[in-house]
């Protein structure tokens, strides 16, 4: 009986491998357009996660005689950042406040993956590799949950470009500034992975995570902050983190 089960398992495995070979992805280039949703966070910044959008394109190359192994590269436009909310009585009555970093990047992911086709119409894949990014726009925006001239002045004083090079001020010259202006450098890099399913060799559903490895505070801002606080307080290392859900169409 034991030998029978071993033989049966071996037969099933051989049949599965033969079927997998029948459904192996064709070697060569394919192109994919994709768009979806981000849930991003600035790690170690005190800001919570925020929603954003992403869209872009990929070029995949299935390697010859590699049984579904492929390399992929592309370019994405993606929204990252973080947000925080609270309450303030600076205007008199207590009102709700929020502060948000909206960071817009162009990213270039480069990954190696493996694709496995269960049937002619259904396949699964996973990939991992680095990404490189440059910030192309974004703001730190502060807002009150109320209107009025004073509220507008404070909001304007605490809203600034997220990637603009600026000197750190321990004592701000603007009397309406109530938060520290801490802009970021434009360059970022990290590593990420993506897993997904493909239907009918065209329609894709994917989830992925990217971990930033670069500290996105500028070195001179970090030095100025350290000197302004009498060499007793340092800025934390802030890195991007991003979780994405995307859909794609393969051409």
Identify the band that residue 17 occupies on the pLDDT scale cut at 50, 70 and 90. Answer: very low
> How far lies 229's CA from each of 166, 214, 233, in Å?
17, 24, 6
pLDDT at 106: 97
Gyration radius from the chain CA atoms: 24
Task: Evaluate whether 37 touches 54 at the Cβ level (below 8 Å).
Answer: yes
pLDDT at 67: 87
pLDDT of residue 1 exceeding 70, the answer is: no
pLDDT at 3: 52
Task: Evaluate whether 141 touches 170 at the Cβ level (below 8 Å).
Answer: no
What would the pLDDT profile of 123-151 be if each residue is shown by its tens digit?
Answer: 999 999 999 999 999 999 999 998 889 99
The residue with tokens 């492929």 is 70
pLDDT of residue 12 exceeding 70, the answer is: no
pLDDT at 198: 96
What would the pLDDT profile of 177-220 be if each residue is shown by its tens digit?
Answer: 988 899 999 999 999 999 999 999 899 999 999 999 999 999 99
- In sequence order, which residues have a C-beta less than 8 Å from that of residue 186 and are 6 or more positions away? 134, 135, 136, 163
pLDDT of residue 68 exceeding 50, the answer is: yes
pLDDT at 13: 38
pLDDT of residue 6 exceeding 80, the answer is: no
DSSP of the chain, one letter per residue? Answer: -HHHHHHHHHHHHHHHHHHHHHTPPPSEEEEEEEEEEEEEEEETSS-B-EEEEEEEEEEEEEPTTSTTEEEEEEEEEEEEEEEEEEEE-TTSS-EEEEEEEEEEEEEEEEEEEEEEESSSSEEEEEEEEEEEEEEEEEEEEEEESS-SHHHHHHHHHT-EETT------SS-SSTT--S----B-SEEEEEEEEEEEEETTTEEEEEEEEEE-S--B-HHHHHHHHHHTTTS--PPPPEEEEEEEEEEEE-
Closest to 196 measured CA to CA, from 96, 104, 111:
111
Question: Quick one: DSSP state of residue 217?
Answer: B
pLDDT of residue 100 exceeding 70, the answer is: yes
Give the lowest-confidence range in 23-27, 97-101, 214-218, 238-242. 23-27
Query: What's the CATH architecture for 2-250?
Result: Beta Barrel (2.40)
- The percent of residues above 70 in pLDDT, for the chain, comes to 91
- In sequence order, which residues have a C-beta less than 8 Å from that of residue 207 and are 6 or more positions away? 194, 195, 196, 243, 244, 245, 246
pLDDT of residue 158 exceeding 90, the answer is: yes
Q: What is the mean pLDDT of residues 219-224?
A: 91
What would the pLDDT profile of 113-125 be if each residue is shown by its tens digit?
Answer: 999 999 989 999 9
Other CB atoms within 10 A of residue 93 CB: 7
Q: Where are the domains of the chain?
A: 2-250
pLDDT of residue 101 exceeding 60, the answer is: yes
pLDDT of residue 18 exceeding 80, the answer is: no
pLDDT of residue 244 exceeding 90, the answer is: yes
């Amino acid at each position: 009986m034991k030998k029978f089960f071993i033989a049966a398992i071996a037969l099933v495995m051989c049949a599965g491998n033969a079927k997998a070979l029948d459904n192996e992805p064709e070697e060569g280039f394919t192109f994919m357009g994709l768009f979806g949703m981000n849930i991003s966070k600035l790690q170690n910044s005190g800001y919570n996660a925020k929603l954003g959008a992403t869209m872009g394109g990929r070029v995949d190359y299935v390697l010859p005689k590699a049984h579904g192994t492929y390399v992929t590269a592309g370019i994405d436009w993606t929204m990252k950042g973080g947000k925080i909310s609270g309450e303030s009585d600076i205007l008199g009555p207590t009102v709700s406040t929020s502060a948000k970093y909206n960071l817009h990047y162009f990213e270039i992911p480069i990954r190696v993956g493996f694709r496995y086709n269960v049937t002619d119409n259904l396949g699964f894949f996973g990939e991992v590799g680095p990404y490189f990014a440059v910030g192309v726009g974004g703001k730190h925006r502060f807002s009150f949950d109320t209107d009025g001239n004073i509220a507008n002045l404070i909001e304007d004083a605490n809203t600034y470009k997220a990637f603009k090079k600026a000197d750190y001020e321990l004592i701000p010259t603007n009397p309406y500034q109530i938060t520290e202006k801490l802009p970021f450098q434009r360059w970022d890099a990290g590593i990420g992975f993506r897993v997904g399913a493909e239907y009918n060799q065209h329609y894709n559903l994917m989830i992925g995570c990217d971990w930033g490895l670069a500290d996105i505070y500028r070195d001179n801002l970090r030095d100025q902050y350290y000197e302004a606080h009498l060499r007793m307080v340092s800025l934390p290392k802030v890195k991007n983190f991003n979780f994405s859900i995307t859909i794609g169409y393969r051409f």
